[in-house]
Amino acid sequence: DAKTTQPPSMDCAEGRAANLPCNHSTISGNEYVYWYRQIHSQGPQYIIHGLKNNETNEMASLIITEDRKSSTLILPHATLRDTAVYYCIVRVEGYSGAGSYQLTFGKGTKLSVIP
């Protein structure tokens, strides 16, 4: 799987939009971008994923650049409960040979929502 680069930490005021960037310049054409978050000492939680079109669900929006080399996760109205470490990973969908399920998480971005 392609590697990703994220800033180690970010702050966001409560009620404002949180925009978390991710660079994945070596992403291949069949790799999806996934976002997870982890609240302290809990298991990570899936947020959203996409291939090339922008995606939105009840939690967040995902904006993927046209060249697919970077993406931004948007939390439209951040709350204190959104304070967590956010992970961006890229992976292929489905089985594409041995090792295709090996998912690599980096260190993520620690988002602190400030009252």
Partner 1 sequence: DGGITQSPKYLFRKEGQNVTLSCEQNLNHDAMYWYRQDPGQGLRLIYYSQIVNDFQKGDIAEGYSVSREKKESFPLTVTSAQKNPTAFYLCASSIREFGELFFGEGSRLTVL
Can you give the binding site for partner 1, defined by CB under 8 A?
32, 34, 36, 41-46, 49, 87, 91, 93-95, 98-99, 101-108
8/68 Cα distance (integer angstroms): 21
Minimum distance from CB of 63 to partner 1 (Å)?
19
Cβ closer to partner 1: 14 or 105? 105
Minimum distance from CB of 47 to partner 1 (Å)?
10
What is the bridge-based pairing of β-strands 109-114 and 9-13?
Answer: parallel
Helix, strand, or coil (residue 35): strand
Minimum distance from CB of 69 to partner 1 (Å)?
20
Cβ closer to partner 1: 16 or 46? 46
Cβ closer to partner 1: 25 or 96? 96
Cβ closer to partner 1: 53 or 102? 102
82/101 Cα distance (integer angstroms): 28
Helix, strand, or coil (residue 81): helix
